[in-house]
């Protein structure tokens, strides 16, 4: 799981950075510019009112993708979209653009995490154009985990953009048909742009500000960190509804099936994840050989609650301890198997 570190950075539009004293932003986010829909299955599912199932997948440490593709093929009936991480935790893996191109050619709907950490704005614009040219249309713009988190702590982050300015680059390419420099494109990319959010109680006052800023920059969906405190997610959704964000962007709730007590105790200390002690106690209250099943039950309960929330259009299933077999089991148990399944290549 990438921690999806978000640095919102400076923002020049006062409409979304003013204080919240009336319960609404002084000026709600501007409506998104009209554009053609992308060929994205995820976009079609969300805008058609269907509950979407996204699975986050980490590209392998290999220049040979054969085993990776064979494993991912088992997920075809269980997911709408595969989300490929972009060197999470500052640890290098095979390029998600390369892995995504292979999967897209096999008929999968692919989402790329695009981190601002490793590429400047010249490379980012080239990357987004390349993704669309390869048939990859879902883009999740993130700041990225600092290099110090990973096995190359001496590496330097580029950080020429942050998640908000990266969204603006994408929407300028897509909606205006031009590079940031003003140079026109021959053909604009078809992109379905999204943003990542980590709602915690400490950041509650800024929930609608951050979300509105990203929607105004071009985000049409918002993917959260793993949600264990459903009551907090409900408050988060209400705060977005109050300022009109959910009229323009759909929330994808993160879901992680806890595989062990050790993982639960670790996540309880992660600042971007809110894990109630009551759930940790549930795992302590069963025998070690029952904890895997209990973690799946907790995840199914979470899915059942979030899918009933207005404004939530689907889930992102996170990979910690979630083998392909276990992910399929979770989808079946939760009753969210996509219909019809993702199509196989012709």
User: How far out from the chain centre does Cα 222 lie?
Assistant: 7
250, part of any domain: yes
Q: How do residues 191-237 score in pLDDT, each as one tens digit?
A: 999 999 999 888 899 999 999 999 999 999 999 999 999 999 999 99
For the segment 127-146, the average pLDDT, to the nearest whole number, is 95
20, part of any domain: no
The position carrying tokens 């609650």 is: 305
For the chain, the residue count is 346
Q: What is the DSSP secondary structure assignment for residue 23, as one 8-state letter? A: S
Q: What is the DSSP secondary structure assignment for residue 34, as one 8-state letter? A: P
What's the confidence (pLDDT) of residue 157? 82
Following DSSP, what letter does each residue of 294-342 receive, concatenated?
HHHHHHHHHHHHHTTSTTEEEEEE--TT--HHHHHHHHHHHT---SSPP
| CATH number for position 252 | 3.20.20.220
Following DSSP, what letter does each residue of 42-97 receive, concatenated?
HHHHHHTTPPEEEEEEPPPS-S--HHHHHHHHTTGGG-SEEEEPSSGGG---S-HH
Q: What is the DSSP secondary structure assignment for residue 181, as one 8-state letter? A: T
Following DSSP, what letter does each residue of 82-119 receive, concatenated?
EEEPSSGGG---S-HHHHHHHHHHTT--EEEEEETTS-
17: pLDDT strictly greater than 50: no
For the segment 75-83, the average pLDDT, to the nearest whole number, is 96
302, part of any domain: yes
Q: How do residues 146-186 score in pLDDT, each as one tens digit?
A: 787 777 888 888 889 999 999 999 999 999 999 999 999 99
For the entire predicted model, the pTM comes to: 0.88
For residue 273, what are the contacts with CB-CB under 8 A and spacing of at least 6?
A: 198, 225, 226, 228, 267
What's the confidence (pLDDT) of residue 37? 75
314, part of any domain: yes
What's the confidence (pLDDT) of residue 20? 41
Q: How do residues 273-328 score in pLDDT, each as one tens digit?
A: 899 999 999 999 999 999 999 999 999 999 999 999 999 999 999 976 568 889 99
- Domain range for 179: 38-334
343, part of any domain: no
24, part of any domain: no
Distances (CA, A) of 271 to 88, 225, 268, 274: 17, 11, 8, 7
Residue 28 φ/ψ, nearest 5 degrees: -65, 165
31, part of any domain: no
Query: For the chain, how many structural domains are there in total?
Result: 1
149, part of any domain: yes
31: pLDDT strictly greater than 80: no
Report the greatest alpha carbon distance in the chain.
63
């Amino acid at each position: 799981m990438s921690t999806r570190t978000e640095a919102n950075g400076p923002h020049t539009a006062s409409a979304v950075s003013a204080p919240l004293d009336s319960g609404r932003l002084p000026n709600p986010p501007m409506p998104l510019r009209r554009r053609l829909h992308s060929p994205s299955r995820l976009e079609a599912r969300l805008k058609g009112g269907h509950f979407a199932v996204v699975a986050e997948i980490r590209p392998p440490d290999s220049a040979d993708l054969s085993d990776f593709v064979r494993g991912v093929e088992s997920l075809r009936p269980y997911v709408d979209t595969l989300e490929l991480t972009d060197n999470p935790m500052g640890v290098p893996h095979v390029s998600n653009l390369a892995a995504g191109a292979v999967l897209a050619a096999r008929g999968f709907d692919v989402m790329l995490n695009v981190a601002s950490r490793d590429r400047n704005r010249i490379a980012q614009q080239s990357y987004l154009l390349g993704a669309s040219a390869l048939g990859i249309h879902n883009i999740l713009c993130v700041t990225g985990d600092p290099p110090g988190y990973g096995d190359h702590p001496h590496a330097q982050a580029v950080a020429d953009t942050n998640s908000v300015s990266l969204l603006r680059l994408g929407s300028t390419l897509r909606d205006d048909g031009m590079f940031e420099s003003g140079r026109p494109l021959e053909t604009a990319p078809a992109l379905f742009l999204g943003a990542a959010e980590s709602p915690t109680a400490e950041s509650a006052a800024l929930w609608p500000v951050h979300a509105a800023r990203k929607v105004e920059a071009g985000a049409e969906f918002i993917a959260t960190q793993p949600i264990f405190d459903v009551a907090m997610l409900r408050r988060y959704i209400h705060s977005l509804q109050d300022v009109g964000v959910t009229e323009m962007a759909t929330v994808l709730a993160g879901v992680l099936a806890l595989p062990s007590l050790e993982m639960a105790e670790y996540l309880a200390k992660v600042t971007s994840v809110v894990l109630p002690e009551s759930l940790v106690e549930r795992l302590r209250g069963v025998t070690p050989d029952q904890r895997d099943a209990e973690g799946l039950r907790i995840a199914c309960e979470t899915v059942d609650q979030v899918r009933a929330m207005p404004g939530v259009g689907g889930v992102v299933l996170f990979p910690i301890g979630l083998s392909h077999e276990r992910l399929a089991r979770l989808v079946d148990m939760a009753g969210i198997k996509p219909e019809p399944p993702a199509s196989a290549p012709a």
